[in-house]
Structure 1
Amino acid sequence: MITWYHSWRAAIRIARRDAWRSKGRSFLVLAMIALPILGVSAADLTLRSAELSTEQKLERSLGAADARLTDPGYGGVPVLQTPNGENYTPADDFEDKPYPEGSTDVTKAAPQGAKTLKDATGSAKLRTEHGLLHTEIRELKAADPMAKGMLTLVSGRFPADGTEVAATTHFLASSGLQVGSTLRARGFDREYTVVGSYELSDSLKSDQVNALPGALLAPLDKALKADGLPGTGAEATYLVSLPGGFTWNMVKETNTKGVVVHSRVVDLDPPAKSDVPFYQKNNWGDFGMSASAKAAALAAIGTVVGLAMLEICLLAGPAFAVGARRSRRQLGLVGANGGERRHIRAVVLSGGLVIGVAAAVVGTALGLALTYALRPVLEEYIGRRFGHFDIRPLELLGIGLLAVLTGLLAAIVPAVTSSRQTVLASLTGRRGVRRSSRVLPVIGLLATVLGAAIALYGSVFSDQFAIVAGGSALAELGVVAMTPALVGLFGRTGRLLPLSPRLALRDAVRNRGRTAPAVAAVLAAVAGTVAVATYAASSDAQQRAEYKAQLPYGAVSVIMGEAGSARDVPAVRSTVQKLLPVEVRADMDRISVGSANCSVWGGSDGCGSYEVVVPPQNRCPLWATDPANPDGDPAERFSKEERRKLAEDWRCQQSGGRGVYVPDGVVVADASLLKVLEIDDPAAAKALAGGQAVVFDKRYIDKNGDGGNDDGKDGTDGRDGTDDGTDEDGTVRIKLITDTEAAGKAFDEGREAPGEIKSFRVHRTADDVDAYGLSVIVPPAAAKAAGLTTLPLGAYYSTDSLPSTEQRQRLEGELDKTGSSVMLHIEEGYTSENSIILLALTVFAGLITIGAAGIATGLAQADAEADLKTLAAVGAPPRVRRTLSGFQCGVVAAMGVLLGSAAGVLPAIGLRLTERREQLKWYQEALDNGWGGLASDPHVPVVIPWATLAALLVAVPVGAALLAALVTRSRGALARRETA
């Protein structure tokens, strides 16, 4: 025991002295190990600090109250809830009767003797220094002791009367206002004074204004509705203070009155699941993370940690190997003085232990300091305040032990290699004959083939991505195992290269012990980057294909569909044309049924609606209501095969659903609208000029002109779903519905709604024309001739260039002056959210690649100093040393990037194929259920990010080579003969 202690003590002292003697190499390895420890420890501290305790969560949600009572909107029927009140449902089943709706008086459900405090929220547009800002309004007496902790006062004070408000710091920063400013709401002339600023600890970026109960929401809501504007949509809950707290039995009793409760006592001491009726109903379980999901999350974390340790070992291992070779004379003296192989192994392992311990201490200390210093920045980034600076010593100790373990693992192979050298070879500096392992490449090849097969199986025959991920990881490890052999294959191209790159490549092949790990580390980093970049590029292509533009690129629309806004439309049209680079302007009107003050959405007394009539022969059988069973699913009348076939019928294809909303997509406009929509159809423009309507959806066309009494026997527009293609002749019918109650009753009974029919001769465009959500354009002359009442709706504009941000801000400022709600849209086209991700990934992989290649180059220079001196001695120019270093770095980077790019594409393709199968499965289920016309055949492309690959394959190796050449000295120290 004493011998063991003294031998390791001596080994550690030797390793410490050697590390101090070789400060540059030691610092390099320490930095490699300490940086991940810094990141992991900082992440642990951030996550633990951001993770709130139950008490802290309750303080932010309940303040000092004992509970919060909420009306779930079920009309007062008994409810069941989870202990935290986040999930609830009516206690009874309503399968055969109407689902409960309505409100209940929450205050009557409070227990006897309880104190209540109203907490109401709504939203409105408030006037700021810049214009209007949509803001949340909260009416809560924040100074009440029951609300303590919910709103954190920053400056000033909370409001004391109905003329004062407080605002969040984010609102004040966004609005340009400050404490002492006056505040007004749109549609409300009453002024309020901002007397304080506060923040919401759980939502630092919220725009919120606080007022006393009844001071702002109710009068503002009344004023807005009086002007025909949307109200504030206020909702109220009640904080409750009760001696002894709100127990679970009290919660269940309150549930019987139709009220949901969030109780402090229940949150702190939740009941058993067997005592929660909510979980027993329909066998509903806990909505938390399942055991399988937790296992998957732990497996993912373990995989990431394992790969990080592997990469550090791959980079640090060669450094220990080079250090052992440079200390081989010292190790030889240990053997010459009676030291055994285990003593030599102990010395090298002690080097890993010493640097690992130092890296653990340095990384953990820097992680603590960095997290503490960046705490305000981190809180702003995540958008909420930490509960407290939470330090978990055991977790930090475990993270530090990872550094020690990594250092030991990185030193194992050099320790074994050094112990196998003879004393004579160590003292004379001879390296002996080194042969590459022939077994490892074979194992790597088998692992690569097996992993690729598993990933292929998972992507083609299984829905579990874990199989794809596991196979891809196995294949990547196989490529890592083959790296020494692959480096040797690269060496065969050396005969084609000039002197400096040929020397660099031969040196890399000759010293595979330090080259292969560096290449493998670059491979691992690049493979992950390429995998994520390929998936991101493929997802981006899918989102681009699924993006539905509301207008052609650069086009502008202004719509004013609210009640009474028609009078402001001409001024708004002129304002847009004056402030934007307009090329073509197309004015649009809408059909009005009933009062002239009706909005485009109708809904109020005296306001009717209209619809485009679909002829019976053009109606989709899957959507046709059965009068005998109006509440039943129409698709159930057909078999699965019939539903699949009907889903391909043109009558069942969903159209529209985007663009500017007007009922059934009908607008009154002239041929200029076709120009703005970029519809090149001279016949359509001629039809509009001649008083014919233009229809973009052939389901609306009645070619018989008799209301649709086609029996389908001619095969043109009958039940077989075919079309003869003669689109110039036909009729579109628009039904004006004035009695909305009768229409609703007819709909419930599966009958046609009563109304007046207006018919128009039509011209239909080609099927591939994109009308951006419009279905029918009625020319003004035809609308007037048919006796339709129309109101100005807005306009579409085509522009010479996409309006700038400054132009849009100026326009919105001018539109605000109208006092009406103007829906402004500028079509900017699809904006990729992955461009920043791809750039960040490319930069990340580039830094890792350059770092790994630089480490390999530095080790090569340290290991081949004698060769460089020999080159200088035989007359090689000074630039050879610089160019040799550059090419050494570039060779490592190029090999790693090339192999990593090939290895990284596999998992991304596997994931995309798995997603394609999953979405195709959902699509097939939609076809089986009769929803095929509402869904589209899934488009899940696989896109290779060639720009990212080009940057990795070309720019990164070239950049690494140039950087290494620049930082390398041209001249080295002169070699001297060693004294005997």
Structure 2
Amino acid sequence: MSSLFGSWYHPWVAALRIARRDAWRAKGRSVLVLSMIALPIVGVSAADLTLRSSELTTEQRLTRQIGAADARFSETGLDGPILQHPDGERYAPVGGYDKYRPDPEKKQSSLKAAIPAGAQVAEDGKGSIKVHTVHGLLMTELRELDVHNPLTRGLITLDRGRLPQGPGEVIATNSFLKESGLHVGSAATPRGSPSSYRIVGAYELPSELRRAELLALPGTLFTPLDRALRADSGTGLHTYTSYLVSIGGEGFTWNAVTAANAKGALVNSRAVTLRPPADSEVPLFKQEPKDRYTQDGGGGKVTERAVLATVVALTMLEICLLAGPAFAVGARRSRRQLGLVGANGGDRRHIRAVVLSGGLVIGAVAALAGTAIGTALTLGLRPVLEEQIGSRFGGFGVRPAELLGIALLAVLTGLLSAIAPAVTASRQTVLASLTGRRGVRRAGRVLPVIGLLAIAAGVAIALYGAEYRVSPTFVSGGSALAELGVVALTPVLVGLFGRLGRMLPLSPRLALRDAVRNRGRTAPAVAAVLAAVAGTVAVSTYQHSKDVQARHEYTAELPSGSGYLIAGDNRGHKDVPALRDTLAKDLPLAVRADAQRLVVGNPGCSQGSSEPGCGRVEVITPKEQRCPLNEAEHGPASFPPDEAKRLRQDPRCAIPEFNHLPETVVADEKLMSVLAVTDPGSVAALKDGRAVAFDPRIVKDGKVTLRIVTDPAAADAALEKRADPPGEDKRLTVHTAPAGTNAWGVHLVVPPAAAKAAGIATAPVGSYFTLDGKATGEQRQRLDGDIDRLGADAQVRIESGYQEQSTVGVLALSVFAGLVTIGAAGIATGLAQADSEADLKTLAAVGAAPRVRRTLSGFQCGVVALMGVVLGSAAGILPAVGLRLTQENEQRRLVQHGIELGYATARDADIYVPIALPWDTIAGLLVLVPLGAALLAALVTRSNGALARRAAG
């Protein structure tokens, strides 16, 4: 062997050969270490492949939006020229919305007038209606598109069957077929349609896999359905039309787009998207600040990517921590072999090379295995991933440089993990290595001091990044530094845990003392579990906090468990009695409050209708209690910017929460029970026949004014001039509900007796109700079916409250961190048991029963896992807190910027970004991980332990 160590090259060849042979000989230990390194590499490589595959190129995104056309021309709903963003999605009227006043006599701008002459055009029409299914009715998007036109290539992907060829044929998305219970060959009938349509094919929208849609050729679906609906109810099908346009050459340049904007068309141009203009050439940015059109949604820059970076950093730390003691255990198990190396002329650097080569070999194999498994998993799970994301990949995005970097990370991790064991093994004397003596070494005092300083510095950096720099990078870096500080303190903390041993029974006391006595083995294993649990707790805390925030921001229409049934316009009032009976028959009602509406003239008129013979009742707000911004001739533009900004904070200008329900309702005191209004005065007032007002702005001197408008056209004309509509006033005595009472969008409740006394007619409109329990899916479907059989048009809504939602990214991170935690605990169990084999043999030698050995082994691993979980739970809170504080400060800065620019109000500054701990997750970790580790160790401990013997000389 001495000849092998004769030059600088040969030692490494020999070391690699020895490491490979040793890894093959100790297959169990090698598999444990390899698994620990390869597990996160599998996750990181799969995440990289998934992310790159899901990212669409600009050309792929344009193909899914506008097919093979040069541009898509879309309606805006405005009746004049617009200014648009180059992305073709955002726009504003010329002069801004503050100055925009729609002209009731002017029709919406025609898209066809904006399309250049001689261009190739494909019309794309959309509308929504309920379609009969196997289960009842399903709200479905209808679409008319000539899918045989080359311009539509890339918009849809035919999955099976064929394309429609003429009238009576449609194709359906896979999502529609799945939800409806229909299949290719079935007949689909839109509600109110005079005929059915045969489904001849199934397709999908590559970027909207969950959309329920039926597609037919132009002129074959909308026209007959619109005629049938108008004949039945007087109201046709509302459709939205856009055009795919191609002109050849350079396509639609920015000049061509602005020319189309002048004619009221919104244009998504291929040429402009690929070569966007400079900000100075965009008129929209000259009219309004560009910041107003940032697509940041108030969420700030703190997204799941910041959490991902934190979790990956903690996971990599956990690998090094656990792989390090794994190599240390391997080095101790191979100490006789290392002693032989020294006995045959090898010096310290040769022993270090042998141990380091072990890390190199294991790291290289883990790199190959991890990237290969990650690639195979991504390929195999691609359909599942696409379904979860709701969008097809643009392709299988493999970036060799990134995968090579991930593989090198595994090799580097294995090498770094072996450094400390290599140094320790090289310091052993040949005699100690050959005799198997470990020696005793006092714990140093420098490391704990460094740990305390690292914790203090890490917390300071994380808080600085959250409060001042508003940087996820600082938060992640500070959290990692604090984590390293806790790791450095782990030996001291393990010693503190040892003081609890006197209160424990025999087996756990022995296990705890063994852990404290062998801190060199215990501390790294505890630190590894600590790092893995910290990642899990960080992800869980972040996600749980976001969920609490979303629950707080959720706007309910009614109290949870309550609902409403509102009949449609026109003849809907005639259907209300039958609808109420159906409601009571199909749902478990606790309280039902029947509601009516105030009407003038024909009760069959639509609410707000301007047709002859159709009047309406309007609530008149006293002039001194109206918002000045709404009363001025030019709206907010009538005031200087500072004055307009101040007035937006005025309580009179507070914008009420949007609600689909009527603001004025005719009902009795039962409605208060449904709305969960507990004010005794409101209930008593309705019983006494007095109205109840929930908006104090409409009340003056204890009365509210209702104006009977008999000429809707004159009322609309007055509204355009910002004047009160002409009509007869009725003043009702009202009870004003206490400030802050939540009436769920209802401003005024008028009891039937008060309406009758005022001489105002009423018509039934529906019912509000509270359920006795919950409505099942079968009950809802039966109700929809019965309503359809009545031929009535009614809207039913049951408030179920906020439903928890997890994004795919955070859900994947949670699963990944949880798996790594379990893996760390399991591998720490295996390593601790391998290192404690001599102790178990000693127990067997003194006659200990197998149960004692199993119990001791289980408690040894359980103690390690418990200490790691306790410390990791505390350490994992820091990064989540830092990221949430960063997110809060980013949102505050965005809102403050909006207030300064004048498009945000003080109400927007009421930001709620909570930090909520997931106590159920933490409790589960505290119980399940140690218990699982203990049971695993007890099960794999051999009951027939062999007696220990001295190694042969």
**Normalised by the size of structure 1, how large is the TM-score?**
0.86
Tell me by how many angstroms 1:24 deviates: 0.2
Instruction: Decide whether aligned partners of structure 1 residues 482 and 279 sit closer, same or farther in structure 2, where only a CA change above 3 A counts.
Output: farther
Tell me by how many angstroms 1:527 deviates: 2.3
Q: 1:886 aligns with which of 853, 858, 867?
A: 858
2:416: which partner in 1? 409
Q: 1:322 aligns with which of 329, 351, 368?
A: 329
3-state secondary structure, aligned to 2:603: coil
Q: Does 2:674 correspond to 1:667?
A: no
Query: How far apart are the structure 2 equivalents of 1:848 and 1:319?
Result: 16
2:158: which partner in 1? 153
Q: 2:918 aligns with which of 945, 953, 967?
A: 945
Q: Does 2:441 correspond to 1:437?
A: no
What does residue range 504-583 of structure 1 map to in structure 2 within 5 Å?
A: 504-583=511-590
- Asked whether the equivalents of residues 846 and 952 of structure 1 are also in contact (C-alpha less than 8 Å), the reply is no
2:198: which partner in 1? 193
Letter in 1 for 2:670: S
Query: How far apart are the structure 2 equivalents of 1:97 and 1:976?
Result: 94
2:345: which partner in 1? 338
Query: How far apart are the structure 2 equivalents of 1:226 and 1:140?
Result: 25
Q: Does 2:832 correspond to 1:852?
A: no
Q: Does 2:426 correspond to 1:419?
A: yes
3-state secondary structure, aligned to 2:124: strand
3-state secondary structure, aligned to 2:631: coil
2:657: which partner in 1? 657
Q: Does 2:495 correspond to 1:488?
A: yes
Deviation string, structure 1 residues 887-919 (Cα, Å, up to 9, x no partner): 111111111111122223334444555566667
Stretch moving more, 576-585 or 492-501: 492-501
Stretch moving more, 348-357 or 513-522: 513-522
3-state secondary structure, aligned to 1:154: strand
Query: How far apart are the structure 1 equivalents of 2:96 and 2:688?
Result: 59
Query: How far apart are the structure 1 equivalents of 2:250 and 2:563?
Result: 57
Q: 2:316 aligns with which of 309, 313, 316?
A: 309
Provide the aligned C-alpha RMSD in A: 3.9
Query: How far apart are the structure 2 equivalents of 1:950 and 1:93?
Result: 54
Deviation string, structure 1 residues 543-573 (Cα, Å, up to 9, x no partner): 4445454334433321124222111011000
Query: How far apart are the structure 1 equivalents of 2:97 and 2:590?
Result: 57
- Asked whether the equivalents of residues 624 and 634 of structure 1 are also in contact (C-alpha less than 8 Å), the reply is no
1:817: which partner in 2? 789
1:967: which partner in 2? 940
Query: How far apart are the structure 2 equivalents of 1:788 and 1:295?
Result: 55
Q: Does 2:38 correspond to 1:34?
A: yes
Instruction: Decide whether aligned partners of structure 1 residues 202 and 777 sit closer, same or farther in structure 2, where only a CA change above 3 A counts.
Output: closer
Tell me by how many angstroms 1:312 deviates: 0.9
2:753: which partner in 1? 781
Letter in 1 for 2:674: V
Tell me by how many angstroms 1:316 deviates: 0.9
Query: How far apart are the structure 2 equivalents of 1:549 and 1:218?
Result: 37
Instruction: Decide whether aligned partners of structure 1 residues 700 and 926 sit closer, same or farther in structure 2, where only a CA change above 3 A counts.
Output: farther
1:23: which partner in 2? 27
What does residue range 814-963 of structure 1 map to in structure 2 within 5 Å?
A: 814-833=786-805, 847-913=819-885, 938-963=911-936
1:134: which partner in 2? 139
Instruction: Decide whether aligned partners of structure 1 residues 127 and 109 sit closer, same or farther in structure 2, where only a CA change above 3 A counts.
Output: same
Tell me by how many angstroms 1:28 deviates: 0.8
1:756: which partner in 2? 728
- Asked whether the equivalents of residues 65 and 146 of structure 1 are also in contact (C-alpha less than 8 Å), the reply is yes
3-state secondary structure, aligned to 1:129: coil
Q: Does 2:347 correspond to 1:349?
A: no
3-state secondary structure, aligned to 1:188: coil
What does residue range 724-743 of structure 1 map to in structure 2 within 5 Å?
A: 730-743=702-715
2:779: which partner in 1? 807
Deviation string, structure 1 residues 653-706 (Cα, Å, up to 9, x no partner): 77x6366611xx222122333343444566655543443223344444433xxx
3-state secondary structure, aligned to 1:160: coil
Query: How far apart are the structure 1 equivalents of 2:391 and 2:731?
Result: 59
Tell me by how many angstroms 1:15 deviates: 0.3
Stretch moving more, 485-494 or 49-58: 49-58
Tell me by how many angstroms 1:461 deviates: 6.0
Instruction: Decide whether aligned partners of structure 1 residues 764 and 95 sit closer, same or farther in structure 2, where only a CA change above 3 A counts.
Output: closer
Query: How far apart are the structure 1 equivalents of 2:196 and 2:644?
Result: 63
- Asked whether the equivalents of residues 186 and 198 of structure 2 are also in contact (C-alpha less than 8 Å), the reply is yes
Instruction: Decide whether aligned partners of structure 1 residues 468 and 683 sit closer, same or farther in structure 2, where only a CA change above 3 A counts.
Output: same
Residue ranges of structure 2 left out of the alignment (5+ in a row): none
Tell me by how many angstroms 1:140 deviates: 1.4
- Asked whether the equivalents of residues 563 and 796 of structure 2 are also in contact (C-alpha less than 8 Å), the reply is yes
Stretch moving more, 88-97 or 365-374: 88-97
Deviation string, structure 1 residues 332-375 (Cα, Å, up to 9, x no partner): 11112111222111111111111111112212222232222222
3-state secondary structure, aligned to 1:828: coil
Query: How far apart are the structure 2 equivalents of 1:16 and 1:318?
Result: 19
- Asked whether the equivalents of residues 561 and 799 of structure 2 are also in contact (C-alpha less than 8 Å), the reply is yes
Percent identical? 56
Stretch moving more, 678-687 or 783-792: 678-687
Deviation string, structure 1 residues 200-224 (Cα, Å, up to 9, x no partner): 2222222111111121123323443
Tell me by how many angstroms 1:747 deviates: 4.4
Instruction: Decide whether aligned partners of structure 1 residues 542 and 107 sit closer, same or farther in structure 2, where only a CA change above 3 A counts.
Output: closer
Stretch moving more, 688-697 or 890-899: 688-697
Tell me by how many angstroms 1:294 deviates: 10
3-state secondary structure, aligned to 2:597: strand
Tell me by how many angstroms 1:967 deviates: 3.0
Tell me by how many angstroms 1:772 deviates: 3.2
- Asked whether the equivalents of residues 172 and 201 of structure 2 are also in contact (C-alpha less than 8 Å), the reply is yes
What does residue range 78-477 of structure 1 map to in structure 2 within 5 Å?
A: 82=86, 85-86=88-89, 103-107=108-112, 109-110=114-115, 113-228=118-233, 231-242=236-247, 244=249, 246=251, 248=253, 251=256, 255=260, 258=263, 259=265, 261-262=267-268, 270=275, 273=278, 281=286, 304-457=311-464, 467-477=474-484
1:43: which partner in 2? 47
Letter in 2 for 1:952: L
Tell me by how many angstroms 1:277 deviates: 5.0
Query: How far apart are the structure 1 equivalents of 2:259 and 2:720?
Result: 36
1:712: which partner in 2? none
Instruction: Decide whether aligned partners of structure 1 residues 883 and 233 sit closer, same or farther in structure 2, where only a CA change above 3 A counts.
Output: same
3-state secondary structure, aligned to 1:551: coil
- Asked whether the equivalents of residues 537 and 945 of structure 1 are also in contact (C-alpha less than 8 Å), the reply is yes
Query: How far apart are the structure 2 equivalents of 1:629 and 1:157?
Result: 55
2:693: which partner in 1? 695
Query: How far apart are the structure 1 equivalents of 2:917 and 2:816?
Result: 18
3-state secondary structure, aligned to 2:943: coil
Letter in 2 for 1:949: I
- Asked whether the equivalents of residues 348 and 427 of structure 2 are also in contact (C-alpha less than 8 Å), the reply is yes
Query: How far apart are the structure 2 equivalents of 1:416 and 1:936?
Result: 57
Q: 1:611 aligns with which of 614, 618, 637?
A: 618
Stretch moving more, 151-160 or 768-777: 768-777
- Asked whether the equivalents of residues 627 and 751 of structure 1 are also in contact (C-alpha less than 8 Å), the reply is no
Instruction: Decide whether aligned partners of structure 1 residues 914 and 150 sit closer, same or farther in structure 2, where only a CA change above 3 A counts.
Output: closer
Q: 2:765 aligns with which of 775, 787, 793?
A: 793
Tell me by how many angstroms 1:580 deviates: 1.8
3-state secondary structure, aligned to 1:592: strand
Query: How far apart are the structure 2 equivalents of 1:162 and 1:638?
Result: 56
Residue ranges of structure 1 left out of the alignment (5+ in a row): 704-729
Letter in 1 for 2:631: T
Letter in 1 for 2:11: S
Tell me by how many angstroms 1:427 deviates: 1.8
Letter in 1 for 2:135: H
- Asked whether the equivalents of residues 635 and 930 of structure 1 are also in contact (C-alpha less than 8 Å), the reply is no
2:631: which partner in 1? 625
